[in-house]
Homo-oligomer: A and B are copies of this chain.
């Protein structure tokens, strides 16, 4: 078996471990934790935490997924080309996470931090909210 494993058209050039982790996150759409991913993919041949973390690290580096720091979870990227800059809303009540899609966000954000002694290389923004359905109920 080839290790680039081009079973699906998408996610070519990924290795098998990277692809099955990405597929799981893609199919889920929700933030998943590393050890949950490990449990879910035992049957696919993932045996150790390190295998999961290595795949996750690579996928984060490629911008295909993001880590949501405050909940130690990983989620499929909902944009394109946002390997370094991320912004999420997290519902305080139900925990639902959505990636904020806003191509102008980066510029706005840069304006916020006006200290020209430093340059922003990347950012991670986590907004806690009451989501629509939790607001109603």
A: residues with CB less than 8 A from B are 69-70, 84, 89, 91-92, 100, 102, 105, 108-109, 111-113, 117-132, 135
Contact = CB atoms under 8 A, between A and B. Distances in A.
A94 B61 CA distance: 20
A71 B59 CA distance: 20
7 closest A-B pairs by beta carbon, nearest first, are A69-B69, A118-B129, A69-B70, A117-B132, A123-B127, A124-B126, A122-B128
B129 A119 contact: yes
6 contacts: A70-B124, A89-B118, A91-B118, A113-B127, A124-B126, A125-B125
A119 B109 CA distance: 19
Given A108-B112, A112-B108, A113-B89, A69 B121 contact: no
Most buried by B among A100, A109, A113: A113
Contacts of A117: 131-132, 135
Contacts of A124: 70, 125-126, 128
